[in-house]
Amino acid sequence: MIVIRTPEEMRAWAFEQRGAGRSIGFAPTMGALHAGHVSLLEAARAQNDLAVTSIFVNPTQFAPHEDFDAYPRTWETDSAKAEAAGMDVIFAPTASSMYPDGYSTYVTVEGVSEGLCSKSRPHFFRGVATVCTKLFNAVLPTRAYFGQKDAQQCAVIKRLVRDLGLGIEIVEMPIAREDDGLAMSSRNAYLQNGERERAQCLSKALREAEALMRDGERDTARLTAAVRGSLTGADTIDYVELVDAESMQPVDAIAGPVTLAVAAYVGKTRLLDNIKFIP
C-alpha cells in the first residue's frame, strides 16, 4: 500500500492504471475509520482490480462554527485498517494541494441538495460535491462507494455524476450498525456515557416506523409523528422527513421508493439515520 499526498501524483498513478485497462474502486472518507467505512473499502477491493481510499477532512464542508478542528484524526489506526482491507493506495492530500491560494471554484447540485441536512448545514453539499469532483478527477475511479448512512449525500453524488457525465458507477452500501442498532459514525466518539445509550432511539424509532410501513401505513404525517414520538432519547430533533429516495423531495404519502430520514442531537452530537422503503 502506498500513500499519495497530492492530486497530481494521484492522477499520474491512476492514469497509468486505467490506461493499462485496470479498474479502480474508490471509497472516499474523512478518516476515523470504523466498520462502516471498512465495508466500503472491502467492496471496492472485491469488485475492482485496484482499490483506493482517501482520507481528507474537507474544510469546505464545515461551517466556521462546526467541528472541523475537533473532528477525530486517527492516522495510525486508519492506515492499518486500510492496509488490512487490501487498499493499494491511501490518497491523503494536503489541504493546500486541494485548495491552493485563491481557490474559487465550487460545484452546486440543485434540488437534491435542498431540504433535510442543508436546512441546518447550508454550506455542506456544496463542499461535498466540490471535494468529490476533485477527488474523482484525481483518482479516476471506475466505481465509487458511498454509504446509505448519508442518504442525501449519496443522492447528491449520484446526480452530480449523472449530470456532469463523469462515467463513474456509484455503489451505495448498506448502513453498518452497532449491536444495539446505532448507525456507526466517526462522530459517535463524541457521545458521553449516558448519551451513547440514548442514541439508540434513532434506529429504534426507524425500525418501529418500518414495521408500520410493512403493515400498510402510507401516510407521511402519521409516520413522521410516530418517529418523533419515539425519539425519546434525543435532546433536539433537527428533522424527521419522508422523502422520495432519488430526488430527496418530501412526499405526502408513499407511492414509490422512499427514504425516512432523521437528524437529531443527543447532547451536542448531531446524529443521522435513515431507512429505505419500497412499497
Contacts with ligand AMP by CB under 6 A lie at: 29-30, 36-37, 39-40, 146-147, 149-150, 173, 175-176, 183-186
134 CB contacts (<8 Å, ≥6 apart)?
A: 7, 98
- Pick the closer one to ligand AMP by CB: 17 or 274: 274
- Cβ(146)–Cβ(173) below 8 Å: yes
Alpha helices in the chain (DSSP H): 7-19, 35-47, 75-84, 95-98, 117-120, 124-139, 151-163, 193-198, 201-214, 220-230
**How near is the Cβ of 9 to ligand AMP at its closest, in Å?**
22
Note whether 130 and 106 are within 8 A (CB): yes
Catalytic residue among 34, 37, 65, 123: 37
Amino acid sitting at position 228: R
Output 174 or 279, the one with its CB closest to ligand AMP. 174
Strand partners, 145: 171
State which residue, 95 or 221, has the beta carbon closest to ligand AMP.
Answer: 95
Identity of the residue, 254 or 260, whose beta carbon is nearer to ligand AMP in the bound complex: 260
Which residue number, 121 or 254, has a Cβ lying nearer to ligand AMP? 121
C-alpha cell at 127: 463542499
Q: How far is the CB of 72 from ligand AMP (least distance, A)?
A: 10
Cβ burial 178-200 (10 Å sphere, 16+ → b, else e)? beebbbbbbebebbeeebbebbb
Minimum separation from the CB atom of position 218 to ligand AMP (A):
28
CB of 272 to ligand AMP, least distance (A): 9
The answer to whether residue 37 is catalytic is yes
Of 167, 131, 144, 130, the closest CA to residue 43 belongs to 144
Which residues carry out catalysis?
Answer: 37
